[in-house]
Amino acid sequence: MNSPLRIEAAGDSHVGRQREHNEDSFAVDLDLGLFVVADGIGGAAGGEIASRMAVDIVHSSCRDGELEITRPTGYDEQVPPLELRLVSSIWRANERIFEVGQRDPRFYGMGTTFAGVYADADAACIAHVGDSRVYRYRERRLERLTEDHSLWNEHLNNGEQLPDDLDPLLARNVVTRALGMGKTVDVATRLERPQAGDLLLICSDGLSGPVPEPEIAAVLEHGDDLATTARSLIDLANLHGGPDNVTCVLVRWSAVG
């Protein structure tokens, strides 16, 4: 029989060294088991609003149970309620962000990436849209659990060469999926079974962009206190120039007692 697990978590965010406004948002709710990061798109005003809306709507929808859980046509009947509630909450956030952008010219085109974990002691549902990432650090190995929805990745997955006139840096930064881009959004999900010692890192591309993954792993290897580790990751991103807002949320499972 497996030992019971407990969850601890912490998060932090920083504007970075080259931006004037922080368009990232995050939430850490241990009681609910919800941990999310959103990276706004569309300028200081629009991006900040979109990311905050995404976090707040998903959080309140999961917390208050205000969404009726229904399975859309074609949705897998085996999908567990944990995943269905998280995805339904993200769909609701997408609809509202899109509506605001269509209604108010000041926020036309605003959107946000999203990466979230909805978890309990036995399972963790991971959902993401865009290029914010979720990593797992297990047994001294860092593994990326999400795949960027970016122009760069789309070309790689299709086995295509990037056009000669397309800047590779631009291709990496252009997302092909985000909340608020349309009336509907395709949410990527996966279900994980946590083990004692597992550590999940949810981050915006302000960390994963400038910082090589081996350096991220080294910080996680030597980190004990999660709040201090989150701050160390942010400091590392800023040491690499801090080109963007950077947000990190850490979630760890450990054996009770």
Query: Token digits for 73?
Result: 């046509």
pLDDT interval class at 4 (50, 70, 90)? confident
Q: Which residue blocks in 183-245 are alpha helix, DSSP H?
A: 205-208, 213-222, 226-239
What's the order of all strands across the beta sheet hosting 5-14?
A: 5-14, 246-255, 199-203, 133-138, 141-144
Over range 52-61, report the average pLDDT: 97
By CB atoms closer than 10 A (0-12, 13-18, 19+), residue 243 is: middle
Please say if the pLDDT value at position 48 is more than 60. Answer: yes
Over range 178-188, report the average pLDDT: 95
pLDDT interval class at 150 (50, 70, 90)? confident
Measured between alpha carbons, how far is 21 from 203 in angstroms, rounded to an integer? 17
Of 44 and 142, the one with more pLDDT: 142
- pLDDT tens for 120-149 read 878 999 999 999 999 999 999 999 999 999
pTM greater than the 0.75 cutoff: yes
Over range 74-90, report the average pLDDT: 79
Provide the pLDDT for residue 75: 56
Please say if the pLDDT value at position 166 is more than 60. Answer: no
Provide the pLDDT for residue 1: 47
